[in-house]
């Protein structure tokens, strides 16, 4: 049986990837230190003979018994509310963690896929963003800890590919949503849905003219899976190219939830990108991939997931206490 290691396995995307690879007949080894992941995301896999879990911080030395065919590195804080609170750990997981996993892939002769992000493009001056665009990133701004961690991650991955001949894949993930997202992780979809479900006004940062492009998680996982099994070693955008303004999106949420909330406006955070839209021509060409799930379908599934939460979970304001992770 083929064996795959998935780091960040208890996170939003990581847990969906565990499900997909088990469905495809793999033996999955999940790894997470629960700094932002949630044990509930993996509870349904307890007792599954094709799944095992290791609680571990990837910035520390990693040892895996037996062979590995693939490694998927998805360990990292991924929302501003997290990486602004734990900036050093965010940088470490993108640098030390990636270095450890590349070394493990080399030792095991495994193919490794690195989860990068559209944030490598920063606040883009090119629209939509293609893989050959170098980006417009403020290296010393508050968001730089995440942006630069991912940019370094790409660089060291390509260095291992060129110098050691390691089989590498790099996915640049654009805004993704779906069940298992943390309701209070600060990203726009759970933020809007949480506010609507609590009967609060929807908060827009800036004037709402900034754009995003949202990809449903099943489409994202399909793109990642195809990229892993492809022969392409350079970065590939995986996301939905359908662009919408944040103001229009807030109005969609109000309509979907059947609430009468107002929209209120607050100051736009520093370096928040004004446009975000992937050019997916490369993914179409080399993977035969494009998103299939329409936003109204995906949003309804996501809304039903959040609506099923308990009142206690719905009113939690901060999901994580990072005290144990800020010692170094």
Whether 272 is covered by a domain: the verdict is yes
State the maximum Cα–Cα separation within the chain, in Å, rounded to a whole number: 58
CA distances from residue 220 to 26, 177, 292 in whole angstroms, order as listed: 19, 9, 10
DSSP string covering 239-278, please?
Answer: S---EEEHHHHHHHHHHHHT----EEEEPPPTT--S---B
Rg of the chain over Cα atoms, rounded to whole angstroms, equals 19
Active-site residue, 83 included: no
Tokens linked to 140: 């010393």
In a domain, 178, yes or no: yes
Going by pLDDT thresholds of 50, 70 and 90, the confidence category of residue 211 is: confident
| DSSP notation for 296-307 | HHHHHHHHHHHH
Q: Is residue 111 in some structural domain?
A: yes
Q: Are 179 and 295 in contact (CB under 8 A)?
A: no
Which structure tokens are listed for 59? Answer: 């910035």
Q: Which CATH number covers residue 34?
A: 3.40.50.720
pLDDT-above-70 percentage for the chain = 94
For Cα atoms 230, 233, 239, give the angle at the middle one, nearest 5 degrees. Answer: 70
What is the pLDDT, as a whole number, of residue 326?
Answer: 52
Contact 151, 135 (CB under 8 A): yes
Chain segment 168-200, per-residue pLDDT in tens: 999 999 999 999 998 888 788 998 998 988 889
> What helix, strand, coil percent values describe the chain, rounded to 5?
40, 20, 40
Q: Write down the mean pLDDT value for the chain.
A: 92
Determine the pLDDT at residue 314.
Answer: 67
Which one from 26, 83, 121, 146 is the annotated catalytic residue? 146
Residue 271, pLDDT above cutoff 80: no
Q: How far apart (Å, rounded) are the C-alpha atoms in residues 20 and 22? A: 6
Contacts 24+ apart (CB under 8 A), 155-161: 156/95, 156/98, 156/99, 156/102, 157/98, 157/102, 157/112, 157/114, 158/233, 158/234, 160/102, 160/105, 160/106, 161/233
Start-end of H helices in 84-168: 87-92, 98-108, 144-164
- Record the pTM: 0.93
C-alpha neighbours within 13 Å on the C-beta side of residue 280: 25
Give the integer Cα–Cα distance in Å for 262 and 277: 27
- State both tokens at 102: 């590349």
Please say if the pLDDT value at position 273 is more than 90. Answer: no
Assess whether pLDDT exceeds 70 at residue 243: yes
Q: Does 259 reside within a domain?
A: yes
Kindly list the distances between the CA atom of residue 328 and the CA atoms of 91, 100, 116, 208, 252, in Å, as whole numbers in the listed order.
12, 18, 24, 38, 43
Domain count within the chain: 1
- pLDDT of residue 322 exceeding 90: no
Mean pLDDT within 313-325: 58
**Domain-embedded: residue 327:** no
Question: Can you give the residue range of the structural domain that contains 144?
Answer: 3-322
For residue 325, give the nearest of 21, 30, 59, 38 by alpha carbon: 59
**328 lies in some domain:** no
- Average pLDDT of span 20-42: 97
């Amino acid at each position: 049986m083929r064996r795959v290691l998935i780091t960040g396995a208890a996170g939003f995307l990581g847990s969906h990837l565990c499900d997909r690879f088990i469905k495809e007949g793999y033996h999955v080894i999940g790894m997470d230190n629960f700094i932002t992941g949630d044990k509930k995301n993996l509870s349904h896999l307890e007792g599954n003979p094709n799944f095992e879990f290791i609680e571990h911080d990837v910035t520390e030395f990693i040892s895996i018994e037996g062979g590995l065919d693939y490694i998927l590195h998805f360990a990292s804080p991924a929302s501003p509310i997290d990486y602004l609170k734990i900036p050093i750990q965010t940088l470490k997981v993108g640098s030390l963690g990636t270095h450890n996993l590349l070394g493990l892939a080399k030792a095991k002769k495994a193919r490794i896929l690195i989860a990068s992000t559209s944030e490598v493009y920063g606040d883009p001056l090119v629209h939509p963003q293609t893989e050959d665009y170098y980006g417009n990133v403020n290296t010393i701004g508050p968001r730089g800890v995440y942006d630069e961690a991912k940019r370094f991650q790409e660089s060291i991955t390509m260095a291992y590919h060129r110098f050691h001949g390691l089989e590498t894949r790099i996915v640049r993930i654009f805004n993704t949503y779906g069940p298992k997202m943390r309701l209070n992780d600060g990203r726009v979809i759970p933020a809007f849905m949480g506010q609507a479900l609590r009967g609060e006004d929807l908060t827009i940062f800036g004037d709402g003219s900034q754009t995003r492009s949202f990809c449903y998680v099943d489409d994202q996982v399909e793109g990642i899976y195809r990229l892993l099994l492809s022969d392409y070693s350079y970065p590939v955008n995986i996301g939905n190219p359908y662009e919408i303004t944040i103001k229009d999106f807030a109005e969609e949420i109000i309509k979907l939830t059947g609430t009468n909330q107002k929209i209120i406006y607050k100051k736009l955070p520093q370096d928040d990108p004004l446009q975000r839209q992937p050019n997916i021509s490369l993914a179409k060409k080399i993977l035969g991939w494009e998103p299939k799930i329409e936003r109204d379908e995906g949003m309804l599934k996501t809304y039903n997931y959040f609506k099923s939460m308990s009142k206690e979970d719905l009113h939690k304001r901060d999901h994580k206490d990072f005290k144990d992770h800020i010692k170094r």
